[in-house]
Amino acid sequence: MAEQVAMEVGQVQGDEEMVVDDFQEIEALAELGVSAADVKKAKEGGFFTIQSLIMNPRKRLHAVKGLSEAKADKMLEAAKKLTSLRRLHAVKGLSEAKADKMLEAAKKLTTAGSWISGAEAMQKRARDIVKVTTGAAALDTLLGGGMETKAITELYGEYRTGKTQLCHTLCVAVQLPIAQGGGAGKAAYVDTEGTFRPERIRSIAARFNLDPDAVLDNIVVGRAHTVDGQMELLQAVGAKMVEEPYKLLIVDSIMALFRTDFTGRGELAERQQKLGQMMALLKKISEEFNMAVVVTNQAMSDPGGGMAFISEEFNVAVVVTNQISEEFNVAVVVTNQVMSDPGGGMTFVADPKKPAAISEEFNVAVVVTNQVMSDPGGGMTFVADPKKPVGGHVMAHASTQRLYLRKGKGEQRVAKVVDSPCLAEGEASFALSDDGVVEYKE
């Protein structure tokens, strides 16, 4: 029988497996005179670590109910001092008393922030960054070893390109020991489209010779139905990260609820502002807890030929006809037609009843029919692969690296690095199977 990984993913074997977490629990503020009552109020406001205090704007701490501005400022100063002291206390041969004295002397000599040299930054990345295998060696090579922590990786593409399957595979792979390409940690999965499937996790776990039940126990899932609900799940996830070793956070998908909760150009500014806030929160989580954050994104067509194409991104009206019995105990059959609003002064309003919401609210089967359009290509201007990720520049700038997934020949799927601070543009092939993401064989 193949070797089993420990049930408790936090218990890693060997010194080479140890991952030192950078975060400190917020209770440590008591060492510097912050009361337990104020710490409790901060936790109720969504602050669970010392680093969360430092990474957020001062005004957000001021907004915590029951905390005066003076107390909030005191907590923030104490958090900064604790962070600096922790680094000094870690220096071999330096007593805490000497470390405190050095810190006070340094404050008098400089007002600079946490500047470090490029060499120190490189050492810190080498020490902290963990790369989680995707399940396919070619894809890992493209990513420089796998999905890295302290980064947001965006996966975008049309349906059936493997985005959700890759997320399921990562949920299992992250639980492997670091020596085997894992992260020796647990996974959190924010599901906005109702696509998380525990049975897929079980089959993928069997591939890696892991106990399926133990693997499922090490994954927490939150189902969001609105943008506000999605934000609340992400704000609350910090409490779990402090208590247990999480190394992966997935949001599948990041834009689905934004596209339904905010419609038309009139709400575009508010939508982008909320999206920017959510992506900023994800970035802080990734750095605070040294986690790999993976978000999936939808794609829209952009033919670029001057034609008005259907797109939910730019004010589309969906006319839905449905029949629901008074008892709500029936299958719902929906016919679907799409109209475009070319911006010629006409206003269309989308039907507020979403078929996806009905299916979950009343536990009924929803069947939809859809129309198709032809692409004659006979002298008309079409782009070879006119797909763009939803979310605009806000999404583009917030993601650390972006991968475009598309269908290839047969079972082939292709991942392309579109944007990254360190990875070269390139492509890698992989395939999907009952075992999740696997190597593609021609």
For residues 292 and 225, state if they share a domain: yes
Return the percentage of the chain with pLDDT > 70, whole number.
71
For residues 136 and 261, state if they share a domain: yes
Q: Which two tokens stand for residue 231?
A: 């934000």
Q: Which helix (H) or strand (E) holds 420?
A: none
pLDDT of residue 438: 95
Q: How far is CA 427 from the centre of its chain?
A: 22
Let me know if residue 364 belongs to a domain: yes
Supply the range of the domain harboring residue 356. 312-369
- Structure-token match 């996806």, residue found: 356
Angle in degrees, CA 320, 323, 327, rounded to 5 = 135
Let me know if residue 7 belongs to a domain: no
Nearest to 161, CA basis, from 247, 253, 248: 253
- 232-237's contacts with Cβ under 8 Å and 24+ in sequence apart are 233/190, 234/190, 234/278, 234/281, 234/282, 234/285, 235/46, 235/281, 236/46, 237/188, 237/285
For residues 282 and 410, state if they share a domain: yes
Q: Rounded distance, CA 377 to CA 249, Å?
A: 42
Let me know if residue 81 belongs to a domain: yes
For residues 58 and 134, state if they share a domain: no
Q: Which helix (H) or strand (E) holds 436?
A: strand 436-439
Task: Give burial (CB, 10 Å; 0-12/13-18/19+) of 190.
Answer: buried
39 contact partners, CB below 8 Å, separation of at least 6: 26, 27, 29, 30
Let me know if residue 283 belongs to a domain: yes
pLDDT tens-digit map of 75-111: 877 777 776 656 555 556 667 676 666 656 555 544 4
Let me know if residue 14 belongs to a domain: no
Let me know if residue 262 belongs to a domain: yes
The tally of domains found in the chain comes to 3
For residues 26 and 80, state if they share a domain: yes
For residues 292 and 159, state if they share a domain: yes
Task: Give burial (CB, 10 Å; 0-12/13-18/19+) of 343.
Answer: exposed
CATH number (domain holding residue 397): 3.40.50.300
Which of 113, 147, 168 represents a domain boundary (last residue)? Answer: 113
| Spans of the chain below 70 pLDDT | 1-23, 83-94, 96, 98-114, 302-357, 371-386
Which of 51, 85, 113 represents a domain boundary (last residue)? Answer: 113
Let me know if residue 276 belongs to a domain: yes
Nearest to 175, CA basis, from 288, 324, 9, 52: 9
131 contact partners, CB below 8 Å, separation of at least 6: 140, 143, 144, 145, 146, 147, 148, 149, 181
pLDDT tens-digit map of 340-375: 444 444 443 444 445 666 777 777 787 777 766 555
pLDDT of residue 323: 39
Q: Rounded distance, CA 219 to CA 201, Å?
A: 10
For residues 147 and 98, state if they share a domain: no
For residues 246 and 392, state if they share a domain: yes
For residues 388 and 272, state if they share a domain: yes
Contact present, 26 and 48 (Cβ < 8 Å): yes
Q: How many other C-beta atoms can be found within 10 angstroms of the C-beta atom of residue 393? A: 9
pLDDT of residue 165: 96
Q: Rounded distance, CA 242 to CA 233, Å?
A: 15
Burial 249-261 (b: 16+ CB within 10 A, else e): bbbbbbbbbbbbb
Let me know if residue 122 belongs to a domain: no
pTM above 0.85, yes or no: no
- The backbone region for 72, taken as left when phi is positive above 0, alpha when psi lies in -120 to 50, beta otherwise, is alpha
For residues 357 and 415, state if they share a domain: no
For residues 185 and 142, state if they share a domain: yes
Q: How many CA atoms lie within 13 A of 271 on its CB side?
A: 23
Angle in degrees, CA 356, 360, 366, rounded to 5 = 55
CATH number (domain holding residue 54): 1.10.150.20
Q: How many other C-beta atoms can be found within 10 angstroms of the C-beta atom of residue 435? A: 17
For residues 223 and 282, state if they share a domain: yes
Q: What is the mean pLDDT of the chain?
A: 78
